[in-house]
Amino acid sequence: MEKRKLSLLLDFYELTMSNGYFKDGRQNDIAVFDVFFRSVPDGGGYAVFAGLEQVISYIKDLSFTKEELDYLKSKEMFDDKFLQYLKNFKFTADLYSMEEGTPIFPNEPIMIVKGPIIECQLIETVILLTINHQSLIATKATRMVKEAKGRTVMEFGARRAHGYDASIYGARAAYIGGVNGTSNTYADFKYRIPAMGTMAHSYIQSFDDEYEAFKSYALNYPDQTVLLIDTYDTLNSGILNAIKVHNEILKPKGKYLKGVRIDSGDLAYLTKKVREVLDENGLTETKITVSNSLDEYLIRDLVTVQEAKIDSFGVGERLITARSEAVFGGVYKLAAIKKDLGFVPKIKISNNAAKTTTPGFKQVYRFYDEDSKAIADVLTLYDEVINENEPYLLFDPTYPWKQKLVSNYTVKKMLIPIFEEGKLVYKTPCLDDIRVYAKKELTTLWKEVLRLERPHQYYVDLSQKLWTLKETLTANYRKK
């Protein structure tokens, strides 16, 4: 799968627009495009950025083969000189991005592409589909991991994913979001995400009785014996046979029943009863794992409300498909065109205020208070500098009379160079480092932003200079 060429994985209008730019002699015009999203999935207070590594790999390999160019020529829509341009295509643009694992918020650039307009246009689709998918899954994973309150969370969704790539890159994104492992063996092979899993009901059903199935598994995997105990009757059969196997097979070998798993029924009730039976039989260290269409709300309810006796969760379809809200909603919008005297800001006007874009070539600053808690993000024009030694006025860009003067703060530039004039200048961290970074960054957010329901809306503001620019452009277009 990694060897596939994705050069034609683009929306057709990206080619027709690019051909138009070329025929008009505009192929060298420098454009600035913003990647951002408009709302947090599931009504949450934050999202988690993921997918940058795959965007980098795609851009590095972007070229067009003779077969691909012959296909485009067969459409009888594209100028021969444009096809020759594609034959010699080389990415020469700049790309700025937030780092993978960063908490992100609506209507702020999480990635900016600046360069020849055709180059910017051709990479739109892959950038969006990559970031939209992985950010969606990473965000969902962080919500589940948070509600598990330190218990192990495993991603078990490969068979329910929307295709091969969704299962592989979904496992990657879920790991960034904090899950401890995956059922997807390929994800372990490719990314070294710990592969986890023991048996399915079919294994047990293939034997004459449950005890013989458990016995076989314990003999084959004495150091990793985790038994699925709900095939027939969790309390009257499964847990009893599991204890019997511990006593008759594992204990004489100096081994221990590592765990049991329950995949159906009333998980709160069953785990409490199973815990009682295990403890009564001296198996106080045996762990209880549950699965069965779990999401963050069910996990929270089991842990906090019902006080279920659960040590780890296997989450599948509702994570790998982000079933509750399966669209992240990232978009790719033109923000500026370079002319002789600098960048000319571009804006898209809409009757829906949320769809009116923020013009200009921009930077994002994250403000932190004296306790290193993030208090706001401020969008500025790219050449603006924020002086940490001076008070700064934060204000709501929609309701500018809502203001707060902050001091004793620090700021961080969130968009860093990834490609400069087509050259990769960023060293991609390993996946484990991204995962650690994501966990650390989430600790900078207030608990009110992290809560599942009615979270505090994190402030995403504009600098005074950028706000004035946007208001001026909006007013000018409305006069036309």
Confidence category of residue 298, pLDDT binned at 50, 70, 90: very high
The count of C-alpha atoms lying within 13 angstroms of the C-alpha of 106, restricted to the half-sphere facing its C-beta, is 15
> Parallel, antiparallel, or unpaired: how do β-strands 416-420 and 423-424 relate?
antiparallel
Computed over every residue of the chain, the mean pLDDT equals 95
Domain membership of residue 404 (yes or no) is: yes
Q: Which pLDDT tens digit goes with each residue over 6-32?
A: 999 999 999 999 999 999 999 999 999
Mean pLDDT computed over 208-219: 97
Per DSSP (E only), the strands in 183-298 are 226-228, 259-262, 287-291
Domain contains 107: no
Q: What mean pLDDT is predicted for residues 223-231?
A: 97
In a domain, 376, yes or no: yes
* pLDDT at position 101: 98
- Give the tens place of pLDDT for each residue, 378-402: 999 999 999 999 999 999 999 999 9
Residue at token pair 């509600």: 147
- In this prediction, residue 231 carries a pLDDT of 97
Tell me what percent of the chain is helix, strand and coil, each rounded to the nearest 5: 40, 20, 40
Whether 162 is in a domain gets the answer: no
Question: How long a stretch of residues is the chain?
Answer: 480
What span, in angstroms and rounded, lies between the C-alpha atoms of 112 and 97? 6
pLDDT in tens, 61-78: 999 999 999 999 999 999
- Contact indicator for 95, 111 with CB cutoff of 8 Å: yes
Q: What is the mean pLDDT of the segment spanning 322-335? A: 93
480 inside domain: yes
For residue 3, what pLDDT is reported?
62
CB 416 within 8 A of CB 426: yes
What is the pLDDT at residue 211? 98
**What's the pLDDT at 480?**
65
Whether 389 maps to a domain, the answer reads yes
**pLDDT tens digits, residue range 272-292?**
999 999 999 999 999 999 998
The answer to whether residue 93 scores a pLDDT higher than 80 is yes
Q: What's the CA angle centered on 98, arms 391 and 474, to 5 degrees?
A: 65
- The answer to whether residue 24 is domain-embedded is no
3-state secondary structure of 228: strand
- Domain tally, the chain: 1
Residue 1 has pLDDT above 50, yes or no: no
pLDDT of 135 above 60: yes
**Does pLDDT of 2 surpass 60?**
no
> What SS3 class is residue 472?
helix
Q: What value does the mean pLDDT take over residues 210-238? A: 97
Looking only at Cα atoms, what is the longest distance across the chain? 87
For residue 63, with 0-12 CB atoms within 10 Å meaning exposed, 13-18 middle and 19 or more buried, which class applies? middle
Q: Which residues form the domain of 380?
A: 359-412+458-480
